[in-house]
Structure 1
Amino acid sequence: MIHWNLTESTWREVRAAGERGIALLPIGSQEQHAAHLPMGTDTLLAEAVLDRAVALMERADGGQGAAATELVRLPALPFGHSPHHLFAAAVSLSAATLGAVLDDVLDSLATSGYRRIMVVNGHGGNDEIMRLAVKRFALRADVTVAACSYWTVTSGEDDGGRPEVTPGHAGWFETSLMLAAHPDLVRTPVPARAPIEPPPLFDHPPYPGLTVERHGEWARVGGSTDDASSADAADGHRLLDARALGLARAIRAFDAATR
């Protein structure tokens, strides 16, 4: 496996790599993450998982000569669809704008010679928009495009024994990951959160398979889905390793299926 960083490479290097390899686009958001995590948490975690996945692949491969898969790591798209967090603070794109931005980025990559692209998302509010964007784009362009949110491609389904709060928002899962990936950006001690009654419907729908949104829920729960005070770096490292390994396997599977 050969890894290129788009920002640090020449156009000839990435053009040649793109014709043979896979472009990797992380996307995130800038939005409130309660009182203890930074606005860019989703972007930072998408990048952390992707970069660790690429590093795992590099170590495992040790170089394969001319047969090596080439990966081109794009800079992260730092803005996402976050209107539900504007009650506190966010820089949000509308669904239509985010879809158009993704369409333009994908179109630019295809025009530049890329035929295989994977989008790696770090924000729940982007997920449906991202998946629709890649489906639409593949209908009109001669490309193969994949998309995932990093928490959906996990090695061994490792949720740290806490599936009810995985992935959540600004809770135990994300806080543990940030303590592992960017501990200097976590405001500590992380305050405990009192139980919320009734629980928010977006996180506890009244019937399986329903999507339910009620006005004012995010403000009512204080901007997080669960109590983050028990998060720790050790859990975070295990969770991060599992997500990175899962993503590495997903990239390899995408590569093998689309050669």
Structure 2
Amino acid sequence: MKIADMNWFQVESYLKADDRVVLPLGSTEQHAYLSLCTDFILSNKLAVETGEGCGVPVYPGLPYGIAPYFSAYPGTVTIRPETYGDFVTDILNSLVKSGFRRVLIINGHGGNSPVEEIIRSRMATVPECQILFHNWWSSEDVMGAVHAVSPNASHASWMENFPWTRLERVSLPPREKAPCDPPNLRQLPPTEVRSLLGDGNYGGAYQADDDAMLSIWRTAVAETTKLLDTGWEN
């Protein structure tokens, strides 16, 4: 149920029986050999599949996020946390005004994490609105499925290489890259981050078997569906 396929009459009718809604957040940033829009593609696809399965409207996702540490890689777009927090807060207030009361935010980018604290603080004055902030890629079920394939998995590695995030006519290195994820990475200047990471892969092989990837995806959809159905306080 994409909002793009609904009119306001249909939204008004939906709200008479349900008040749930889904909003995906992503990013446009370097992902080594994968699409710059990987985080957006994945969060948006997961939101659409989950929303359609539950009969819940899904709003267009935000394709940009907070990624200053990747700004030395061409193509990366980064938004200041305070700007991002203002923007998402305005969206949430609009949803509440329309009549939505339970909002599942599916976040596809770790750099967006600061926005959770910002919006929770600001939306605390709207007690009738419940917000679930779901970092889908790092959830318990998904990480369990990922580690069942390989514990060496991180940003821009095989664990983000789905059929819908890879690019045509792009050759991938056959080797497995050693883990490279120092705790202070995001505090380094962008040029040092690029020097440290090289192609952008934090560590791991560049591609895994598609059967394994589709199994991970099914796990993500099942987990997110359960959250959308049962994750609310009442």
Q: TM-score band (shorter)?
A: 0.7 to 0.9
Q: 1:230-252: per-residue Cα shift (whole Å, max 9, x none)? A: 42322210111111111111111
CA contact (8 A) 1:28 1:43 kept: yes
Percent identity between the aligned chains? 22
Alignment pair present for 1:251 and 2:233:
no
How far apart, CA to CA, are the structure 2 residues paired with 1:134 and 1:5? 23
Indicate the SS of the match to 1:30.
coil
AA paired with 1:235?
A
From 95, 114, 120, the counterpart of 1:109: 95
Q: Using the TM superposition, give the Cα deviation of residue 116 of structure 1 relative to its aligned residue in structure 2, in angstroms.
A: 1.2
Alignment pair present for 1:86 and 2:86:
no
CA contact (8 A) 1:171 1:225 kept: yes
Indicate the SS of the match to 2:104.
strand
CA contact (8 A) 1:200 1:217 kept: no
From 40, 44, 66, the counterpart of 2:37: 40
CA contact (8 A) 2:157 2:202 kept: yes
User: Partner of 2:196 in structure 1?
Assistant: 220
Gaps of 5+ in 2: none
Query: In angstroms, what is the RMSD of aligned CA positions?
Result: 2.5
How far apart, CA to CA, are the structure 2 residues paired with 1:6 and 1:232? 34
AA paired with 2:89?
D
CA contact (8 A) 2:20 2:100 kept: yes
Mark the CA change 1:187 to 1:42 in structure 2 (over 3 Å): closer, same or farther: farther
How far apart, CA to CA, are the structure 2 residues paired with 1:53 and 1:124? 20
Alignment pair present for 1:27 and 2:25:
yes
How far apart, CA to CA, are the structure 2 residues paired with 1:126 and 1:193? 30
How far apart, CA to CA, are the structure 1 residues paired with 2:13 and 2:103? 15
How far apart, CA to CA, are the structure 2 residues paired with 1:187 and 1:38? 12
From 213, 229, 233, the counterpart of 1:236: 213
Q: 1:76-122: per-residue Cα shift (whole Å, max 9, x none)? A: 11111111111113111111111111011001111111111111011
Q: Using the TM superposition, give the Cα deviation of residue 10 of structure 1 relative to its aligned residue in structure 2, in angstroms.
A: 0.9
User: Partner of 1:98 in structure 2?
Assistant: 84
Alignment pair present for 1:191 and 2:173:
yes
From 144, 149, 163, the counterpart of 2:135: 149
AA paired with 1:159?
V
Q: What count of residue pairs does the alignment treat as equivalent?
A: 227
CA contact (8 A) 1:193 1:226 kept: no
How far apart, CA to CA, are the structure 2 residues paired with 1:79 and 1:101? 11
CA contact (8 A) 1:6 1:72 kept: yes
AA paired with 1:161?
A
TM-score by length of 2: 0.85
Alignment pair present for 1:51 and 2:48:
yes
CA contact (8 A) 1:172 1:228 kept: yes
Mark the CA change 1:118 to 1:229 in structure 2 (over 3 Å): closer, same or farther: closer
How far apart, CA to CA, are the structure 2 residues paired with 1:76 and 1:151? 16
Q: Using the TM superposition, give the Cα deviation of residue 162 of structure 1 relative to its aligned residue in structure 2, in angstroms.
A: 4.9
CA contact (8 A) 2:2 2:48 kept: no
Mark the CA change 1:229 to 1:139 in structure 2 (over 3 Å): closer, same or farther: closer
AA paired with 2:203?
D
AA paired with 1:138?
M
Q: 1:176-231: per-residue Cα shift (whole Å, max 9, x none)? A: xx22x355x3554311467569x4413xx7xxxxx974442343212111133342
CA contact (8 A) 1:155 1:245 kept: no
How far apart, CA to CA, are the structure 2 residues paired with 1:186 and 1:140? 47
Indicate the SS of the match to 1:31.
coil
